Every structure is written in C-alpha cells, then in structure tokens.
A and B are shown apart, each in its own frame.
Chain A
Amino acid sequence: MNIFDSSLNEHIRKKYPKTEVVADVQGKAVIKNADYFLNNREIIAELKCFETEKYLDIHNMLQDLSNKREIPPF
C-alpha cells in the first residue's frame, strides 16, 4: 500500500463512518480484496491510481519513428 492509499484510508476512517476500509474487517483472510464498503456495504469500491506520466513514453516512441524517418521531425 502506498502513502496515498494509506492516507486516504485514514481520512475515510476518521470522517466517513458509513464507509469501511475492507482491510480493517477482513481479519486474517487472504483474498484479493477491494478497498472500501460504502453505505453499509451496499457498494463495494476498488481504487485504481494512475501515477506514471506517459508523456515521455509517447515522446520516445515518436522520436524513434522520426529517427527512422517514418514520420517528420517534430
């Protein structure tokens, strides 16, 4: 668990009593669990974060194509 997830969990525990952090209630069970129960377990929520900037990947891909003269210089 990264810092963002653990800080968000802490925030939710303190301020949103109708929301449960699943890890808090699953005991020692080893399951690939989701992250939260909302509204008395009416909704199960899983959080997915995108943290990696793709700009460089795309730029490198275009640069490579440009070096091979498949696209014009940019």
Chain B
Amino acid sequence: MTIGQVLNNYPRAEAIKDKILSKLYAPIEEAFESANRQIRETKRFFNLPSARGLVVFVNRDDTILEPKTALKIPQFLMQKKRNQEYRFKQSDYVTYVSHAHYFEFCKDKIMPFCILVRNDISLADLETLKSFESAFEEFIGIPGNEIDVWKMEDGRH
C-alpha cells in the first residue's frame, strides 16, 4: 500500500504529505547549500573565478528517495533568486547518481545518472561530466544510463 493510498480521502492528507516531503527534502537542501559554499570557497582560494560548480549527489542507500523526488529540490534551488541574482550561483550543474535504484535493461542493471543544468552546458563540460560518470560506473561497478540533461532555464530536457 502506498502512502498516497493510506492518506487517501483524509482531510489532513496534504499537510501530512508535506510533512513527509520536508523530512525527505531537508537533508538534500542542507547538502546543496553546503556544497555551494564549499565551491565558492574553493574558487576564491584557488583564484578560479570562471570555473563552473558541480554538485554531485550520490544516493547510496536511501531507497525511498527516488531520483525524481530527489531532483526536485536542486531544481528549485538552482532557480532561486535573491536581489535578481541566483541565490546559489556557484552551482551551475548538479548530477544525481543512485545506486539504491536501477533500471533493468536487457537483463542488465543500469544506474540512474542525470545532469541538471541551470543555463547551458558547453560540449567540453558535457564531455567532462560524462567522463566523471565513467569514473563512478567503474568505481561502483554498475553501468549508468545515457546521460539525461535537464535545463533549468526553460524546463527542457
């Protein structure tokens, strides 16, 4: 039975769903904010003002945190603005890798891997991220899916 079925037709269903989602989302939001700070400090310390920032979320063991759910928070935060500037402007790309979930394709297990891009991504950066995906595939020992790129500026992917 799903949580939705348990709560179905109950007057406080929406409030309870919100409570559940906030429990799932809080660690992602905290991790994203912390990653943004770390990228900013590293840029400053190494004097790399034009470097792009990448946050890599790796879901190692949280089966309830499905990729689509997990990606909603960085999608929201990447677009968040303050004084007409992106609030988390150091994080240009987010990738999500899960080895708690996998697709089955022709008897193979395929690990979900996708990239969120705030504005655009150059071919060189895309190749770099693909190579980084390969590092994960080799390390974890499960092949990843063909990279799915989601652009935040207009919701395309």
Taking Cβ atoms with an 8 Å cutoff, the residues of A that contact B are 4, 7-8, 11-12, 15-16, 18-19, 22, 26, 29, 31-34, 37-39, 41-55, 57-58, 61-62, 65, 70-72, 74
Q: Is B138 an interface residue, CB under 8 A from the partner?
A: yes
Quick check: B58 and A53 within 8 Å, CB to CB?
no
- Interface size class of chain B, counting residues whose CB lies under 8 Å from the partner chain: 35 or more
Q: Is the interface of B mostly helix, strand, loop or mixed?
A: helix
Contact (Cβ within 8 A) B64 A54: yes
Please name the residue on chain A nearest to B60 by beta carbon.
Answer: A51
With contact pairs A32-B38, A44-B52, A61-B23 given, residues A11 and B138 touching in the complex (Cβ less than 8 Å): yes
Q: Which residues of A contact B16 (CB under 8 A)?
A: 62, 65, 70-71
Query: Chain B: residues with CB nearer than 8 A to chain A?
Result: 1, 3, 6-7, 10, 12, 16, 19-20, 23-24, 27-28, 31-32, 34-35, 37-39, 41-43, 45-46, 48, 51-65, 70, 93, 124-125, 128-129, 131-132, 135, 138-139
A50 and B27 contact, Cβ closer than 8 Å, known pairs A44-B54, A61-B19: yes
